Structure 1
Amino acid sequence: MDDNRALASVVAESLEHVDSEFRTAYTTEPADALARLRRGRVDCLVTDYEMPDVDGLALVDRDGTDTPFVVFTQRRDEQVANAAADRGGAYLRKGAGREQYRRLAALVREQLGN
């Protein structure tokens, strides 16, 4: 989940490129993300933190399921990282280059217990 459609698309495509077993979908709409989560159609949520309508942790809180998640954000904030960990999720700061997607894929795998 990211409010920036182009970035959400790049993240989804990059994850599939890094790990060919991943099948991704993305949305820029919190209501759509929540509906997908509640229907059990998401194995792991990758969400930005700072978005106009809802922050990533509020989205996780509204979800009401135990869906694993990774907060993937530009924001460098130890409180956000700790809050993600307190909820059982992971945190990764966005960077530059392909390495960030390898790290993100590894965190997704970790969240999935693989």
Structure 2
Amino acid sequence: MAIILILDDRATNRNIYARLATAIEDGVSVEVFADPLDALEWLEDNRVDLVITDYKMPGMDGAEFTRKFRAMPGGLHVPIVVITAYDDRSFKLRALDAGATDFLQSPVDHFELVTRARNLLALGRQAPAGEEGPPPEAPAGRDALPEPAGPAPKDLADPEGRGRILEAIPALISLADRDGRCLYANRAFAAESGASPAALPGSSIAQLLGPERGERSRLGDLAVFGSGEALPAYQEEVAGRRGERRRWLTTKVPLRDAGGAVAAVLTTSFEMTGTAPGDG
């Protein structure tokens, strides 16, 4: 059973990363911390197979946490993913110097996190227990890692590949083209919309989501197509089928074709009902 440690001072991020971790592989155990010192104290007496840490945290940043963990018994070969909102080479160099294995840019592409984490878990298991040596490195040339899901429905629906990951993520996931048509939606999205999974491809995403949420989603998609950049995560409060208020945290990221043009927008919504509105 894989044990994954998640470190982030923002409660919303911890919640999302913990949910994503359950899609990495069966039987994952997740330990979540808000304070680097608490995480290091836990690591003194417990093993871990993968660490996912934010870079910017009060008191101790992700690079310093990585350096301290690498110096601990059993910490040398554990893959460490650092998540940073900074696209500054100096931050990455500092984390690399401390022993980071890989990076993800915030806002995080959920499919990419799951895929990279899965690869790094496999990589970490190749290191002989107790053997000294350099910390594990990500597969040569980051381009060797699988790219985020592309716009072709046949690729997304591949039960042995990308579609399997997207179906496993505990969130509503949909893929829309420039005209707002659904190219793909997972089973959770189909269940939430009340539509048959077979009827989703080609349907209007806005109509499936309802007037208020659908219009907001469509405007977000157009913004991504226009800028070519992911939208910052945003919260939505939507009435459920029984009139109850439900809260969702939604992200939108662009998916590009072979020529680099934005071909579709991938939308992921995690339900946050039950957490404090200002949490994190």
Give the TM-score taking structure 1 as reference length: 0.79
- In structure 2, how many angstroms separate the alpha carbons of the residues matched to 1:72 and 1:42? 18
Q: Greater helix share, 1 or 2? A: 1
Structure 2: any 5+ residue segments left out of the alignment?
1-6, 127-280
Aligned position for 2:124: 112
CA drift of 1:79 comes to 2.5
Give the TM-score taking structure 2 as reference length: 0.36
**Structure 1 stretch displaced more, 42-51 or 63-72:** 63-72
8 Å contact from structure 2 (residues 66, 95) kept in 1? no
CA drift of 1:17 comes to 2.1
1:71 maps to 2:82: yes
How high is the sequence identity, in percent, across the aligned residues?
24
Structure 1 residues 111 and 76, CA gap change in structure 2 (3 angstroms): farther
Structure 1 residues 93 and 31, CA gap change in structure 2 (3 angstroms): same
Q: What is the CA deviation profile of residues 67-86 of structure 1, one whole-angstrom value per residue up to 9, with x for unaligned ones?
A: 43110222223233333334
**Structure 1 stretch displaced more, 36-45 or 104-113:** 104-113
8 Å contact from structure 1 (residues 46, 71) kept in 2? yes
Aligned position for 2:210: none
Aligned position for 2:110: 98
8 Å contact from structure 2 (residues 79, 121) kept in 1? no
Amino acid at match of 1:69: I
SS of residue matched to 1:70: strand
Structure 1 residues 106 and 94, CA gap change in structure 2 (3 angstroms): farther
RMSD: 2.3
Q: Which residue, 16, 22, 36 being the options, matches 1:10?
A: 16
8 Å contact from structure 1 (residues 72, 93) kept in 2? yes
Number of matched pairs: 114
SS of residue matched to 1:17: coil
Q: What is the CA deviation profile of residues 31-64 of structure 1, one whole-angstrom value per residue up to 9, with x for unaligned ones?
A: 2100122223322211000011210011112222
SS of residue matched to 1:100: helix
1:30 maps to 2:16: no
- In structure 2, how many angstroms separate the alpha carbons of the residues matched to 1:44 and 1:111? 10
Structure 1: any 5+ residue segments left out of the alignment?
none
- In structure 2, how many angstroms separate the alpha carbons of the residues matched to 1:96 and 1:69? 15
Q: Greater strand share, 1 or 2? A: 2
8 Å contact from structure 1 (residues 71, 91) kept in 2? yes
Larger RCO (alpha carbons 8 Å, 6+ apart):
1
